[in-house]
Amino acid sequence: MIQIANLTKRFAGTAVLDGIDLDIEQGEIIVVIGPSGTGKSTLLRCLNFLEHPDAGQLTLGDLQVDVTRASRRDILAARRRTAFVFQNYALFANKTALENIAEGLIIVNRWPKDKAHARAREILERIGLADKADAYPASLSGGQQQRVGIGRAMAAQAEVILFDEPTSSLDPEWVEEVLGLMKQLAAERQTMLVVTHEMGFAQDVADRVVFMEGGRIVEQGPPAQLFQSPQDPRTRDFLRKVLAAQPAPQTL
């Protein structure tokens, strides 16, 4: 169970997150949508303390943190319970795919190198990249690099995986392979909080869709309800624009 209460973050006096309240059940897949610049990515970064929130309380499993008094120990504990998938992959260029996945297990979890590498090989097998264990990021496609990034998050066995627009840096031909891996994780009931502009993924996979605007949660609900019968005019306007901009399905 993850609980976010009154989470607040300001940049230069502007509230980017303005009192966010959100509960996430174990195994739930939450997709966050909304206009650019509305605080979606900042929400994820605050949960992982990549950005330090100004106020609020976080509950991550058995960890409870008042962010205004969060110690270094609290922050490290929060990071062990969350795993982050970045939109720009954030792989170590000088490490192989296997080493990128194993690194967190060695440094953060203090696993022996042999154990971490064995776990990394298991993950590479699961994500369909067993043959790329010794490949460096520069030799991998964008889709393969992002799958390694997701594999690194999977290895952490965290309470929740945080996805920050994981397909936004990909060429179109690689988007589906990354979404496919995410769908596999969703089918396994891995708890996920996903910021994305992929409306099809939100409709097909999410248990709940959250619409944010202006640093606040405006509306949330099951995908069918939110996409077909949004209650707030801001949600309706956003969806009308986004769905109208999407290409029509191709026919053969």
Stated length of the chain? 252
CB atoms within 10 A of CB 52: 12
Mean pLDDT of 39-68: 96
HSE on the CB side for 17, CA within 13 Å?
25
In which domain, by residue range, is 33 found? 2-245
Burial of 95 from C-beta contacts in 10 A (0-12 / 13-18 / 19+) = middle
Contact 22, 217 (CB under 8 A): yes
The answer to whether position 36 is within a domain reads: yes
CATH number at residue 32: 3.40.50.300
The answer to whether position 91 is within a domain reads: yes
pLDDT in tens, 56-97: 999 999 999 999 999 999 999 999 999 999 999 999 999 999
The answer to whether position 78 is within a domain reads: yes
pLDDT of 128 reads 95
Average predicted confidence (pLDDT) for the chain:
93
| Both tokens assigned to 119 | 């776990």
The answer to whether position 251 is within a domain reads: no
pLDDT in tens, 114-167: 999 999 999 999 999 999 999 999 999 999 999 999 999 999 889 999 999 999
Contact 217, 33 (CB under 8 A): no
Answer yes or no: is pLDDT of 247 > 70: no
pLDDT in tens, 3-16: 999 999 999 888 99
Answer yes or no: is pLDDT of 250 > 50: no
Q: Considering its fold, how many domains does the chain have in total?
A: 1
Contact 190, 158 (CB under 8 A): no
The answer to whether position 112 is within a domain reads: yes
Contact 163, 195 (CB under 8 A): yes
pLDDT in tens, 199-238: 999 999 999 999 999 999 999 999 999 999 999 999 999 9
Has this prediction a pTM greater than 0.85? yes
The answer to whether position 93 is within a domain reads: yes
The answer to whether position 252 is within a domain reads: no
